[in-house]
Amino acid sequence: MTGRTRSRQRYLSASAVKLHLTLFIGGGGCLLAGWFELTRALDGREVAWVYAFEWPFFALIGGVLWWRLLHAPRADTKVEPSSAPLLEPSAGSEPVSQAAPDRGLLAWQDYLARLYAADPPGSPPTR
């Protein structure tokens, strides 16, 4: 697949068109709201100055999110495995056995079993 075909698929796929429409409607609405608040601020409403800068900032955030979602790795693309070497155990360490039970986990499970026996879920409390 050539770069041009891949680029066309990225920008013209169904999910990309939905992103474009969302950016157009949402970003345009934010810019329109910013213009509205700017006109109110220029008419003397001091609090509108905050909103006059806030709405375009929201449009900017929407544009950044649009860009990141558009260029996110797709689920149908293959990801190459990392060629980083695996960590080797140090000379003084002992290998951890996967079959060794975790005492903390066993104690927690025992505690939960005692709680369940004393007050089973789904029934009214006996206290």
What pLDDT shows up at residue 89?
Answer: 58
DSSP string, 28-62: HHHHHHHHHHHHHHHTT-TTHHHHHHHHHHHHHHH
Whether 89 is in a domain gets the answer no
Instruction: Point out the residues of the chain with pLDDT beneath 50.
Output: none
Whether 126 is in a domain gets the answer no
Note the pLDDT tens digit of each residue in 40-67. Answer: 999 999 999 999 999 999 999 999 999 9
Whether 122 is in a domain gets the answer no
Question: How many structural domains compose the chain?
Answer: 1
Distance CA 53, CA 47 (A): 11
Whether 53 is in a domain gets the answer yes
What pLDDT shows up at residue 97?
Answer: 60
Whether 19 is in a domain gets the answer yes
Residue 66 neighbours by CB under 8 Å, 6+ apart: 19, 20, 22, 23, 27
Whether 115 is in a domain gets the answer no
What pLDDT shows up at residue 64?
Answer: 96
Whether 76 is in a domain gets the answer no
What pLDDT shows up at residue 60?
Answer: 97
Tally the C-alpha atoms within 13 A of residue 4's C-alpha that lie toward its C-beta.
Answer: 0
- Which residue has 């079959």 as its token pair? 99
Distance CA 79, CA 45 (A): 54
Whether 105 is in a domain gets the answer no
Distance CA 120, CA 54 (A): 52
Domain span at 19: 3-70
Tokens read off for 86: 């695996």
